[in-house]
Structure 1
Amino acid sequence: MPLRLAVLKETADGEKRVAATPETIKKYLGLGAAVAVEAGAGEAASIFDQAFVDAGATVGDRVATLAGADIVLGVQGPDPAALTGAKTGAWIVAGLNPFGDRPRIDAYAAAGFEALAMEFMPRITRAQSMDILSSQSNLAGYKAVLDAASEYGRAFPMMMTAAGTVSAARLFVMGVGVAGLQAIATGRRLGAQVSATDVRSATKEQILSLGAKPIFVENVAGIEGEGSGGYAAEMSPEYQKAQADLVSSHIAKQDIVITTALIPGRPAPRLISDAQIATMRAGSVIVDLAVEQGGNVEGARLGEIVERHGVKIVGHRNVPSRLAADSSALFARNLFNFLSAFWDKDGGLPVLDAEIGDAVRLTQSGQVVNARLLS
């Protein structure tokens, strides 16, 4: 019997993505696997059931989809209680939010599933094509600028008309990871004057390479802000004060601010206070891409657009899902790249190595085994 992959319809509120596409299903079949897709799984991403059938998958209800499944693919982790029919020891391959939803991880262990958290993918060269955080953050950075433009009551580029000149919007990006870099590039393409900051000094050259102005704390010795895996680390009190002073003077002159700062396993750092918002001119817009992890902006509310001191604060949840077709395509390729990289052609199944397997594996043989969850 060929290895059986199950692709489920997402049940989380507002989740429009799907974990496989007709493109990746054909590739799984090429590896010798069988693929079952839950009916309606791709509709919100503009992929209808017939497209999955045409690609070679079977389409049915959840019970039929899970029956005998060796690997369950998801965007967000499925409810462990709703996985009846999957084999004992089946892999759950998805974004599992290990720090934010530990009870779910414990439930996977108790049910005998092997949970593989794709957001724990190590940031190494050979795993770049498997990195869901990078692929989804890239789209989130792009969408954040479009969301800002839709809420901003003025134009982005400078316009010279017979009636006068319209000044270019001033866009400030806080946090220059994948999302921040894409926000810079998108803002520049739309004609804004873009500046950016980050706690990692190494990002200064990246900001310059995109034609934006770097805004960095100077003369604070010994602070580079580089944590493990290329993520930002928490800063010292001295750096935090210097950064707050710098941001306060700069943010008052900005029309749009996009914040993207995250620290794995911890609440998002607070970057903008209510007092700083009060210095911005009426009609300005702030987009908080970290709102799901507690927010970078004081007063941001998950899933809402609120107004403080005449400034709109945009806190959309699950921003990649707002571009469901493209984000699904990239997410699905991440999953395929992961599984296919370890595919044993003779055995007809993937066999993980220690470097990546130990990084992403959360549960095994009824136990939570990931070092990051046990420390």
Structure 2
Amino acid sequence: MRVAVVRETREAEARVALVPELVAKLTAVGHTVAVETGAGLGALADDAAYAEAGASVVDDPLADAELVLSVQPLDREAARRLPEHAVTVSFLPTALETDLVRDLRDLGITSLAMELVPRISRAQSMDALSSQSLVAGYRCAVVCAGLLRRFFPLNMTAAGTVPPAEVVVLGAGVAGLQAIATAKRLGAVVKAYDVRAAAAEEIRSMGAQAIELDLPTLEGAGGYAREMGEERARLQRELLAPYVANADGLITTAAVPGRTAPVLVTRAMVEQMRPGSVVVDLAADSGGNVEGVVAGEVVRIGQAQVWGGRNVPAQMPGPASRLYAQNVVNLVALLAPEGELVLDLDDEILAGACVTHAGVIRHEPTRVLLEGPAEGGGA
């Protein structure tokens, strides 16, 4: 296939969909790779590195592309320049990109969304949500340590003992567990909570204390938590309030793709935190776990600084790009197992990730959103 790697144009996006060291994975099976000029600069990969790896560096890689790789969705103008029957691979938040999805449908473009790759064992190597959450979890712990004007670790000196900081992490998915691990490595005393019963053992395995509330657990499909009702949410906030008030650093990571993040911490809870406390909300892009958070800004609530994460993986574009690119290359290997494009939509991974194909919106929630329920009352 003719594979195109485009330069990201969306604000605050520094990642790239393919790094030079993985170009050979594609060329070895016969694909040609064209990389847009400057595509990797944000991730510290220059044009010369791509050329040396065997890619061509061009100003417009889309003209004859069969497969287009990106991190963020293409803009609508770029999509309209694609050849008919081209395939795009990117993150594609369909509820926010309805006009683009319509265009892709009408143009006959096949679009695969990395966030829709099913969370099954066979697809683990293609799970970009997990790889990018790993980066984000590390980053938010480092941000917390950087903003907090005190030591994370215990220090015993001739001048006296400095106690360790106490960090509370809410949400123990991939990002939360990485935040716990990083805060522990930095020496903090870490406590964590998740609504899923299985998470308590994972929290303890990281050396943190699992916060256990006398509430029903909310196990959901695909490793995610189910949505909680308002009464349970109120009780949970009430029971978590003392832990929040005693924390030097609070990190929140509870988010589900395609949904508004649950509010876990109210403004009143933050106002009870000690002077100089820090709150890091990894879910700020999707509404935030903390009432009053602003994505991309640090705001003051009470006497605490509240940092709102905005496209956090892109704040570490080098490792984030390397991990994302490996996810993409693994998906391409499934798309073209012998070097030729074989879009097998009977395969559960490709079927799950496919948003549009052959003039049809195949992702059912998106189809219902854009076209309404099927005739006869189906949805």
CA shift in 2, pair 1:160/1:350, >3 Å: farther
| Contact residue 80 and residue 107 of structure 2 kept, 8 A | no
- Find 1:104's aligned residue among 83, 88, 100: 100
Contact 1:129–1:337 (Cα < 8 Å) also in 2: yes
Task: Name the SS of the counterpart of 1:258 in structure 2.
Answer: strand
Give the counterpart of 1:198 among 194, 201, 204.
194
Return the TM-score normalized by structure 1: 0.95
Deviation at 1:356, TM superposition (A): 1.2
Match of 1:94 among 90, 113, 116: 90
SS of structure 2 residue aligned to 1:72: strand
User: Per-residue displacement from partner, 1:317-369 (whole Å, max 9, x unpaired)?
Assistant: 11101110100000000000111134231x62243342112211111122222
How many residue pairs match? The answer is: 367
Tell me, what secondary structure is at the counterpart of 1:6?
Answer: strand
1:238 deviation in Å?
4.2
1:184 and 2:180 correspond: yes
Deviation of 1:78 after TM superposition, in Å, equals 0.9
What secondary structure, in the 3-state scheme, does the structure 1 residue paired with 2:22 have? helix
Select the residue among 277, 285, 288 that pairs with 1:292.
285
How high is the sequence identity, in percent, across the aligned residues?
44
Distance 2:299 2:133 in 1: 23
1:217 aligned partner: 213
**Aligned position for 1:55:** 53
Amino acid in the other structure paired with 1:126 = R
**Residue 362 of structure 1 aligns to a residue in which SS?**
strand
Q: Which residue is equivalent to 1:301?
A: 294
Are the counterparts in 1 of residues 137 and 176 from structure 2 also a CA contact under 8 Å? yes
| Aligned residue among 214, 239, 246 for 2:239 | 246
Note the alpha carbon deviations across 1:129-171, whole angstroms, 9 max, x for none. 1011000000100000111111111110010112211110100
Q: Which residue does 1:5 correspond to in 2?
A: 3
With normalisation by structure 2, the TM-score equals 0.94
Pick aligned residue for 1:127 from 120, 123, 134: 123
The answer for unaligned runs of 5 or more in structure 1 is none
Separation in 2 of the partners of 1:25 and 1:215? Answer: 45
User: In the alignment, is residue 154 of structure 1 matched against residue 156 of structure 2?
Assistant: no
Match of 1:313?
A: 306
1:45 lines up with 2:43 in the alignment: yes
Mapped partners of 1:52, 1:93: distance in 2: 20
**SS where residue 168 of structure 2 aligns?**
strand
**In structure 2, the residue corresponding to 1:349 is in which secondary structure?**
coil
Q: What corresponds to 1:275 in structure 2?
A: 268
Tell me which residue corresponds to 2:315: 322
Q: How does 1:4-23 map to 2 (within 5 A)?
A: 4-23=2-21
Shift in Å at residue 263 of structure 1? Answer: 2.7
- Which deviates more, 259-268 or 206-215? 259-268
Structure 2: unaligned runs, 5 residues or longer: 369-378
Residues 32 and 310 from structure 1, CA distance in 2 versus in 1: closer, same or farther, beyond 3 angstroms? Answer: same
Secondary structure, aligned partner of 2:198: helix
Alpha-carbon displacement from aligned partner over 1:22-42 (angstroms, at most 9, x marks no partner): 122111001110000000000
User: After TM superposition, what 4+ stretches of structure 1 lie above 4 angstroms from structure 2?
Assistant: none
